C-alpha cells in the first residue's frame, strides 16, 4: 500500500483553511466568554440587564460555546488525522461555511427574534415562549443548528470514508481486530486514528439523532397539532448533546497523543489496554446519556441504573489510559517546559479533576439533591474551560510554533492567571451547587449573590488571560505549519 498517497497534501489552501479555523475559533471563543461572564455578572446584580435579555445571553453562550468547541476540536482532529489519511480540504471548509450560516441564523434568532429557550432547545419550549419570541425565531435557531449539524456530518463522513479507504473498515481503524487478535498487538496503528474513528462513529450517530429531533421540533413549530412525546424528545436531545460535547474533548485529546511525545522523546504507542479503552469509551459515551435524565421518573429503571453505572465507568478510560498515559510519558523524561506543553498538561488536570464531581453527580442519590444546581456548570466548566480550552490552545500554539516557542513573562502570567482564576471560577459554581443554588437563574436571591460575585470576578480574570493567550496565538498564525 502506498501510504504517502493516503496522506493529505500540504497545500496552501489546506494551510489557509486551518488558519481560518484558528482565527474564527479564537474570536468566537472570546466573544462567548464575554457572554458567559456577562450572564454571571447579571446573576451577581452587577450588570443591570432584564431577565429576558439575560436568558438570550445564556442561550447564545451555550450554543456558541458548544459550536465553537466542536469546530476547534474538529480542527485539531483534521490537523493530525490528515497525516495518516486523505482528508478533503473542501469538506473541511464546507463544515466551516455551513457553520457560519448556522451562526448567522442563530444570532438572528436571538438578537432579532428574541429567542431564549437555551441551547438545549428542550421540547416543547421553543414553541411555547409566552409571547417572547415567535415561531420564525425558534425555527431560525433550530434551522441554524441543522446547518451546523449538516456541516459536521459532511466532515465526519469525509473522515469515515478516508479511514475506510486507508484501513479497510472503521472496525479496523478502531483497532478492534488488533484488540481481539492473538499474539503481541501490532502497534503500527496511530493513536490519532483510533481516537478519530471513535469520534467519527459516535458523532455521526449523535448528529443523526440531533437531526431527527431538530426536524421534529421544526414540524411542531409550524404544525402545533403534530405533538411528540416529551420524554422521547428529551432522550434524543440529550443523546445528541451529550455525544457532541463529549466528542469535542475526544477530538482535542488527539493533540495530547501527538504533541507530548515530541517533548519527551517517548513515542505514544497503542496497546491492548489503549484499544480496549477506546472501544469501551465508544460505547459508553453513547450509552451513558440517561445520567442527564435521572430525575425523570418516567424513565425505566434499567436506563437510570445504566446511567449511573456507566457514568462511573466512563472515568476509567479518561483517568487510567489518557491522563495516566500522559503522566507516565512525561515522568522523568527530561523535557523542557514551554507554554504549549504547560497548557496541554494543565488541560489533562482540568479534564481528570472535572470528571470527579461529574461522576459523583451521576449517582442517583446525589442527583436527587444536586441535579440542575450550579454543581452541573461547576463540573462541566472544569473539564471544558480548564480541560478542553487549554488542550485546544496548547495544540494550536504548537501547530504554529513547532515546539520553538519563546516563552515570555507575559506567557507565564497569562497561564497562571488562566489556571488559578479558572479554578476559582469553577469552584464558585461547585460551592454554590453544594449549597443548592439553582443553575440557569438570571435573577439570584440575596443569599446566593456572593457565589455569583466571586464567579464574575474570576471570569473577568479568565477573560483577560484568554485574550492575551488568544492574541499570542493569532500573532503566530502566519507561522502555522501543517506538519508541526
Q: Taking CB under 8 A as the criterion, which residues in 331-360 touch another protein?
A: 331-337, 345, 348-349, 352-353, 356-357, 360
Q: Which of 97, 112, 222, 229 binds another protein (CB under 8 A)?
A: 229
Q: Which three cell numbers stand for residue 169?
A: 473498515
In the complex, least distance from residue 71 CB atom to another protein, rounded to whole angstroms: 25
Sign of the Cα pseudo-torsion (176, 177, 181, 185, in order): negative
Q: Which of 295, 410, 413, 471 binds another protein (CB under 8 A)?
A: 295
Nearest to another protein of 178, 292 (CB atom): 292
Which of the ranges 144-152, 155-163, 174-182, 326-334 carries the binding residues for another protein, by CB under 8 A?
326-334
In the complex, least distance from residue 28 CB atom to another protein, rounded to whole angstroms: 23
Instruction: Give the bridge partners for 373, in sequence order.
Output: 438
Window 422 to 461, contacts with another protein (CB under 8 A) = 430-431, 434-436, 438-445, 447-448
- How many Cβ atoms sit within 10 Å of the Cβ of residue 131? 7
Q: Which of 20, 154, 327, 464 binds another protein (CB under 8 A)?
A: 327
Q: Which of 82, 371, 381, 472 binds another protein (CB under 8 A)?
A: 371
Nearest to another protein of 158, 361 (CB atom): 361
Which of the ranges 11-19, 93-101, 315-323, 406-414 carries the binding residues for another protein, by CB under 8 A?
315-323
Q: Which three cell numbers stand for residue 143?
A: 434551522
Nearest to another protein of 170, 359 (CB atom): 359
**Residue 220 binds another protein, judged by CB under 8 A:** no
Q: Which of 282, 373, 414, 453 binds another protein (CB under 8 A)?
A: 373
**Residue 68 binds another protein, judged by CB under 8 A:** no
> Of 11, 87, 3, whose CA–CA distance to 482 is shortest?
11
DSSP classification of residue 478: G
Window 266 to 285, contacts with another protein (CB under 8 A) = 266, 273
- How many Cβ atoms sit within 10 Å of the Cβ of residue 73? 28
Note every long-range contact of 476-481, with CB atoms under 8 Å and residues 24 or more positions apart, other chains counting.
Answer: 476/397, 476/400, 476/401, 477/19, 477/22, 477/23, 477/400, 478/19, 479/400, 479/401, 480/15, 480/18, 480/19, 480/22, 480/399, 480/400, 481/15, 481/399, 481/400, 481/402
Which of the ranges 63-71, 96-104, 297-305, 463-471 carries the binding residues for another protein, by CB under 8 A?
297-305
User: Which residues lie closer than 8 Å to 365 by C-beta, 6 or more apart?
Assistant: none
In the complex, least distance from residue 397 CB atom to another protein, rounded to whole angstroms: 18
How far, CA to CA in Å, does 394 sit from each of 171, 211, 401?
Answer: 30, 32, 11
Residues binding another protein: what is the number (CB under 8 A)?
83
In the complex, least distance from residue 481 CB atom to another protein, rounded to whole angstroms: 26
Nearest to another protein of 124, 403 (CB atom): 124
**Residue 304 binds another protein, judged by CB under 8 A:** yes
**Residue 130 binds another protein, judged by CB under 8 A:** yes
> Of 415, 419, 414, 358, whose CA–CA distance to 386 is shortest?
419
3-state helix, strand, coil in the chain (%, to 5): 75, 0, 25
How far, CA to CA in Å, does 329 sit from each of 257, 260, 326?
Answer: 10, 8, 5
> Of 36, 230, 224, whose CA–CA distance to 121 is shortest?
230
Are residues 187 and 271 in contact, defined by beta-carbon separation less than 8 angstroms?
Answer: yes
> Of 360, 372, 214, 351, whose CA–CA distance to 293 is shortest?
372
Nearest to another protein of 28, 117 (CB atom): 117
Please provide the DSSP assignment of 260-284 as one string. Answer: HHHHHS------HHHHHHHHHHHHH
**Residue 51 binds another protein, judged by CB under 8 A:** yes
**What's the CA gap between 386 and 26, in Å, rounded?**
16
- How many Cβ atoms sit within 10 Å of the Cβ of residue 94? 16
In the complex, least distance from residue 303 CB atom to another protein, rounded to whole angstroms: 9
51 phi and psi angles, rounded to 5 deg: -60, -40
Nearest to another protein of 88, 220 (CB atom): 220
Which of the ranges 32-40, 173-181, 330-338, 461-469 carries the binding residues for another protein, by CB under 8 A?
330-338
Are residues 76 and 252 in contact, defined by beta-carbon separation less than 8 angstroms?
Answer: yes
In the complex, least distance from residue 374 CB atom to another protein, rounded to whole angstroms: 11
User: C-alpha angle with apex 322: 319 to 328, nearest 5 degrees?
Assistant: 95
Q: Which of 48, 183, 184, 300 binds another protein (CB under 8 A)?
A: 300
Nearest to another protein of 340, 470 (CB atom): 340
Nearest to another protein of 153, 385 (CB atom): 385
- How many Cβ atoms sit within 10 Å of the Cβ of residue 286? 18
Nearest to another protein of 12, 334 (CB atom): 334
Window 88 to 127, contacts with another protein (CB under 8 A) = 116-118, 120, 122, 124-125
Nearest to another protein of 47, 157 (CB atom): 47
Which of the ranges 26-34, 103-111, 215-223, 363-371 carries the binding residues for another protein, by CB under 8 A?
363-371
Window 143 to 202, contacts with another protein (CB under 8 A) = none
> Of 305, 310, 312, 315, whose CA–CA distance to 364 is shortest?
305
Nearest to another protein of 157, 299 (CB atom): 299
Q: Which of 366, 424, 468, 477 binds another protein (CB under 8 A)?
A: 366
Amino acid at each position: 500500500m502506498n501510504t504517502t498517497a493516503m496522506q493529505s497534501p500540504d497545500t496552501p489552501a489546506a494551510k489557509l483553511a486551518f488558519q481560518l479555523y484558528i482565527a474564527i475559533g479564537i474570536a468566537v471563543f472570546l466573544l462567548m466568554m464575554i457572554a458567559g461572564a456577562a450572564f454571571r455578572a447579571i446573576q451577581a446584580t452587577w450588570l443591570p440587564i432584564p431577565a429576558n435579555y439575560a436568558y438570550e445571553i445564556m442561550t447564545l453562550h451555550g450554543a456558541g460555546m458548544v459550536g465553537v468547541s466542536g469546530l476547534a476540536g474538529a480542527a485539531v482532529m483534521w490537523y493530525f488525522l490528515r497525516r495518516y489519511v486523505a482528508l478533503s480540504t473542501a469538506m473541511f471548509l464546507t463544515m466551516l461555511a455551513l457553520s457560519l450560516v448556522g451562526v448567522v441564523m442563530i444570532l438572528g434568532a436571538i438578537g432579532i427574534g428574541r429567542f431564549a429557550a437555551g441551547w438545549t432547545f428542550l421540547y416543547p419550549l421553543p414553541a411555547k415562549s409566552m409571547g417572547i419570541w415567535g415561531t420564525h425565531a425558534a425555527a431560525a435557531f433550530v434551522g441554524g443548528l441543522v446547518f451546523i449539524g449538516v456541516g459536521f456530518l459532511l466532515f465526519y463522513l469525509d473522515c469515515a470514508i478516508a479511514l475506510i479507504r486507508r484501513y479497510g473498515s472503521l472496525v479496523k481503524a478502531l483497532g478492534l481486530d488488533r484488540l481481539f487478535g492473538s499474539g503481541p498487538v501490532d502497534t503500527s496503528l496511530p493513536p490519532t486514528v483510533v481516537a478519530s474513528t471513535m469520534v467519527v462513529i459516535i458523532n455521526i450517530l449523535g448528529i443523526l439523532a440531533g437531526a431527527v429531533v431538530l426536524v421534529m421540533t421544526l414540524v411542531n413549530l409550524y404544525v402545533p397539532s403534530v405533538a411528540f412525546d416529551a420524554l422521547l424528545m428529551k432522550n434524543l436531545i440529550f443523546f445528541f448533546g451529550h455525544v457532541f460535547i463529549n466528542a469535542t474533548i475526544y477530538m482535542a485529546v488527539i493533540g495530547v497523543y501527538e504533541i507530548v511525545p515530541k517533548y519527551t522523546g517517548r513515542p505514544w504507542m497503542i496497546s491492548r489496554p489503549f484499544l480496549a479503552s477506546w472501544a469501551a469509551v465508544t460505547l459508553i459515551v453513547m450509552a451513558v446519556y440517561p445520567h442527564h435524565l435521572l430525575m425523570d421518573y418516567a424513565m425505566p429503571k434499567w436506563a437510570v441504573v445504566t446511567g449511573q453505572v456507566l457514568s462511573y465507568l466512563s472515568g476509567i478510560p479518561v483517568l487510567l489510559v489518557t491522563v495516566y498515559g500522559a503522566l507516565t510519558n512525561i515522568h522523568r523524561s527530561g523535557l523542557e517546559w514551554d507554554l504549549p506543553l504547560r497548557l496541554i498538561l494543565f488541560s489533562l488536570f482540568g479534564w481528570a479533576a472535572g470528571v470527579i464531581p461529574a461522576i459523583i453527580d451521576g449517582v442517583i442519590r446525589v442527583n436527587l439533591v444536586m441535579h440542575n444546581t450550579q454543581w452541573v456548570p461547576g463540573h462541566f466548566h472544569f473539564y471544558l474551560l480548564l480541560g478542553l480550552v487549554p488542550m485546544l490552545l496548547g495544540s494550536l500554539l504548537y501547530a504554529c510554533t513547532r515546539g520553538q516557542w519563546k516563552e515570555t513573562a507575559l506567557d507565564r502570567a497569562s497561564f497562571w492567571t488562566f489556571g488559578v482564576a479558572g479554578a476559582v471560577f469553577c469552584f464558585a459554581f461547585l460551592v454554590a451547587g453544594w449549597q443548592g443554588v439553582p443553575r440557569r437563574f438570571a435573577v439570584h436571591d440575596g443569599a446566593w449573590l456572593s457565589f455569583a460575585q466571586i464567579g464574575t470576578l474570576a471570569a473577568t480574570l479568565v477573560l483577560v488571560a484568554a485574550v492575551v493567550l488568544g492574541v499570542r496565538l493569532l500573532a503566530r498564525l502566519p507561522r502555522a505549519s501543517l506538519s508541526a
